Structure 1
Amino acid sequence: MRDLMIGILTVVASAGAAIVFVEILHWTVRRIGRRSQLAADLAATAHRPFLAATTLFAVQLGIRWLLGDFDGRGPLLHLLVILFIAAFGWLVAALVLVLEDAALARWRTDVPDNLKRRRLKTQVVILRRVTVAAIVVLTLGVVLMTFPGIRALGASVLASAGVVSVIAALAAQSTLGNVFAGLQLAFSDAVRVDDVVVVEQEWGRIEELTLTYVAVQIWDDRRLILPTSYFTTKPFQNWTRTGSAVLGTAELDVDFGTDIEPLRAELRAVCEGSELWDGRVCVLQVTDAVGGNVRLRALVSANDAGSLWDLRCLVRERLVAYVWEHQRDALPRVRADLQRSGAAPAGPATGRAPAPAGPSPDAQVFSGGPDGRERGTRFAGPDDPTQIIPSVRGA
């Protein structure tokens, strides 16, 4: 009995020594964390799992080497081994999460040019979920292998693994498809966290991307939840795949007698007077002239989708106000010809100034300025039609 009490006290002392060691180390890392964010995150996240793993390891060693044989020694040691494996898996997962958080903190996405940062954030978030799932599965596997009966069944389990995998694949075909689609999205760069997309006729931002679903934050703060396989099987619009700068339009119907150049000058004044405009594109064009009206389309650019929306609304508001104040005769109207057949048309001359000899730079989308010429080069076909003949023949 005396030896047993000494052994128990020794085990308790070893556990206490382990706790003291962990707390001293935790205090040291916290002091270092005042100057290092990584150390601060490590002290906050890995303290508990490290304390649990170290204490269980010390207690296990104390019982194994300091206590003699007693009733229940084997089951107690087996339980301590299982708890230590679980605590060690918890510690590994905590360390991985600290490293991933450090990577995300280094590559912040709340900056103007965040294309590479959003790509890295998407990949890190996906890898975090995969890593945690892998650690949990491996931990459970190691725990199960501590049972002799399960180890004896290992050969038969491996022999039937092919049949089981086929049955599981058929039963979870949809889930596995979404998992592989999530991995494909993470590394194919088709869509990333914080990308602005248009899906299901809804405009929003990729808020969360997991292995099985994608959460899209709609502009009015609704959430659209879609399976990851949606983005690999159906078309969608990605407004920020190569950059956040985008183009947008504001359309206006006016009368045939409208003088376009003053409206073009007003559009230029609105864009140059607004911080929403990025200085790239400010164009007013006549895109349609049927049904008794002329349709004007103002094409403007902005650094991101949110600024573009506000700029389009501003341009539409200012053009409507300008037409109402300065060209009220340009409002859309319905005409009826009541003169007799054969009569000469009557009416004073309009007295309008002659049209300019050449098109204004603000009236050209695919020509005029460097940006327009570059856009025209990207969207135009080959200059020589014979250049496409070899590819057609090869097809």
Structure 2
Amino acid sequence: MDLKVLSQLIAVALTIGLTLLIGWVADKALQRIAARHPETTVWPMLRRCRIPLQFVVCLGLLLANAPLAQLFKTYAADVRQGLLLALIASVGWLVNRVLAAVLSAVFARYREVADDPSRVQRVRTQVNLLRRATGALVGLITVGAMLLTFPEMRALGASLLASAGVIGIVAGIAAQNTLGNFFSGLVIAFGDLVRIGDTVVVEQQQGTVEEITLAYLVVRLWDQRRLVVPVSYFVSRPFENWTRADPHTTGSILLHLDHTTPVPELREEFRKLLVGSKEWDGRDWGLVVFDSTPSTIVVRATMTARNPDDAFTLKCRAREELLAWIRDKHPGALPRVRTGQ
């Protein structure tokens, strides 16, 4: 084997070995820093950046010394171009991982010190959308930098600058829905309209917000179906958000009963039912005669719960047990159809 080729192969092997060593040293350093500062979560999360860091170091050293390009003399320019493109992509990958780790650490720290669940959900939604936005921006910049490494693209870019205004107008018209969803996602994130975990009513369907992106929002319905809605819907149309300010909610049921119903006894039975229920949060309750008709009275029972799911369960239980109590203790209080003689 040619001595020059052997030296170049040794250079490549040393480069790979040095890359692995740098990655190992960086990982051990992050482990020690994380052990000294357990209250800071950013250091363990930065360990996820080890692989893209090694790619950046390895490709940077190979591009600086160019041992691979020297091994393939005929294709030296193509090898350098490939190494440069890979280096730019690796830098974008590394920056994306670092930003994601920092944002995740910020949210984890905020979740530990915050005492308001609604604020935690708000920050969680903002961090998720901010992570997606920064990831898209880093990806766009990375692709742009890769394209600029080609001389033909630089010349093309200079010629396109003259018509950038027209192209911008045409692109804006063509992508107005996409841009509208993008800005709507930012409004939702920082305007606190909807958060992950909120209970909402969309198109007369109740569900829990499961995922929010810059383009769409996923609502998990009660039967485990997923309703995918464009984020622009929540900016341009009215909708119900039952947990935006406070997850506590009030539920009510209506009972149609006979005029002979002993309302005070029914009210006491309802109170006992709530006291023995784990879904009732103890804040408020009530039972009143809400309306009357020539044949029945309408009794409304209200109760508070910690969240809409508990309220739904409590309403079903209260309706079932109150009707069972009336059937067993006062069957004459059930509504009857009176016919004249």
Q: TM-score, normalised by structure 2?
A: 0.90
Q: Determine which of 316, 327, 344 is the counterpart of 2:319.
A: 316
| Equivalent in the alignment of 1:132 | 135
| Equivalent in the alignment of 1:343 | none
| Equivalent in the alignment of 1:353 | none
Deviates more, 1:132-141 or 1:324-333: 324-333
Equivalent AA in structure 2 for residue 63 of structure 1: A
Pick the structure with more helix per residue. Answer: 2
Point out where structure 2 has 5 or more consecutive residues left out of the alignment: none
Mapped partners of 2:72, 2:268: distance in 1:
96
Q: How many residues align?
A: 335
Asked whether the equivalents of residues 46 and 94 of structure 1 are also in contact (C-alpha less than 8 Å), the reply is yes
| Equivalent in the alignment of 1:294 | 297
SS of the equivalent of 1:256 reads: coil
Q: Determine which of 194, 197, 205 is the counterpart of 1:194.
A: 197
| Equivalent in the alignment of 1:89 | 92
Mapped partners of 1:231, 1:115: distance in 2:
19
Mapped partners of 1:197, 1:68: distance in 2:
62
Asked whether the equivalents of residues 15 and 58 of structure 1 are also in contact (C-alpha less than 8 Å), the reply is no
| Equivalent in the alignment of 1:251 | 254
SS of the equivalent of 2:122 reads: helix
Displacement of 1:9 in angstroms is 2.8
CA shift digits 1:203-240 (9 cap, x unpaired) = 11000011111100011211111111111122111100
Displacement of 1:318 in angstroms is 2.0
| Pair 331,7 (structure 1): closer, same or farther in 2 beyond 3 Å | closer
Equivalent AA in structure 1 for residue 219 of structure 2: V
| Equivalent in the alignment of 2:26 | 25
Higher relative contact order (CA 8 A, sep 6+): 2
| Equivalent in the alignment of 1:237 | 240
Mapped partners of 1:227, 1:154: distance in 2:
34
Mapped partners of 1:294, 1:316: distance in 2:
16
Mapped partners of 1:245, 1:77: distance in 2:
62
Match status 1:179 vs 2:182: yes
| Equivalent in the alignment of 1:40 | 44
Asked whether the equivalents of residues 197 and 204 of structure 1 are also in contact (C-alpha less than 8 Å), the reply is yes
Equivalent AA in structure 2 for residue 82 of structure 1: L
CA shift digits 1:42-84 (9 cap, x unpaired) = 22x21211111110111112228x9799554333222211111
| Equivalent in the alignment of 1:147 | 150
Asked whether the equivalents of residues 22 and 54 of structure 2 are also in contact (C-alpha less than 8 Å), the reply is no
Displacement of 1:6 in angstroms is 3.3
Deviates more, 1:313-322 or 1:23-32: 23-32
SS of the equivalent of 2:66 reads: helix
Q: Determine which of 58, 63, 68 is the counterpart of 2:66.
A: 63
Match status 1:224 vs 2:227: yes
CA shift digits 1:223-282 (9 cap, x unpaired) = 111111111122111100101000010111101121211111111111122221111221
Mapped partners of 2:306, 2:94: distance in 1:
43
Equivalent AA in structure 1 for residue 104 of structure 2: D
| Equivalent in the alignment of 1:307 | 310
Q: Determine which of 162, 166, 178 is the counterpart of 1:163.
A: 166
Equivalent AA in structure 1 for residue 240 of structure 2: Q
Asked whether the equivalents of residues 267 and 282 of structure 1 are also in contact (C-alpha less than 8 Å), the reply is no
Displacement of 1:3 in angstroms is 4.9
Q: TM-score, normalised by structure 1?
A: 0.79
Mapped partners of 1:172, 1:268: distance in 2:
58
Mapped partners of 1:67, 1:42: distance in 2:
35
Mapped partners of 1:33, 1:272: distance in 2:
48
| Pair 255,76 (structure 1): closer, same or farther in 2 beyond 3 Å | same
| Equivalent in the alignment of 1:9 | 10
SS of the equivalent of 2:261 reads: coil
Asked whether the equivalents of residues 196 and 209 of structure 2 are also in contact (C-alpha less than 8 Å), the reply is yes
Alignment RMSD, CA only? 2.5
| TM alignment of 1:198-217, pairs within 5 A | 198-217=201-220
CA shift digits 1:173-199 (9 cap, x unpaired) = 222221221111111111111001111
CA shift digits 1:326-383 (9 cap, x unpaired) = 2211110122343xxxxxxxxxxxxxxxxxxxxxxxxxxxxxxxxxxxxxxxxxxxxx
Asked whether the equivalents of residues 246 and 305 of structure 1 are also in contact (C-alpha less than 8 Å), the reply is yes
SS of the equivalent of 2:311 reads: helix
Equivalent AA in structure 2 for residue 48 of structure 1: I
Deviates more, 1:281-290 or 1:67-76: 67-76
SS of the equivalent of 1:257 reads: coil
Mapped partners of 1:67, 1:221: distance in 2:
59
Mapped partners of 1:278, 1:73: distance in 2:
73
Mapped partners of 1:265, 1:170: distance in 2:
64
SS of the equivalent of 1:207 reads: strand
Q: Which has the larger radius of gyration?
A: 1
| Pair 50,156 (structure 1): closer, same or farther in 2 beyond 3 Å | same
Asked whether the equivalents of residues 12 and 59 of structure 1 are also in contact (C-alpha less than 8 Å), the reply is no
Mapped partners of 2:217, 2:292: distance in 1:
43
Deviates more, 1:115-124 or 1:259-268: 259-268
Mapped partners of 1:55, 1:103: distance in 2:
30
| Equivalent in the alignment of 1:348 | none
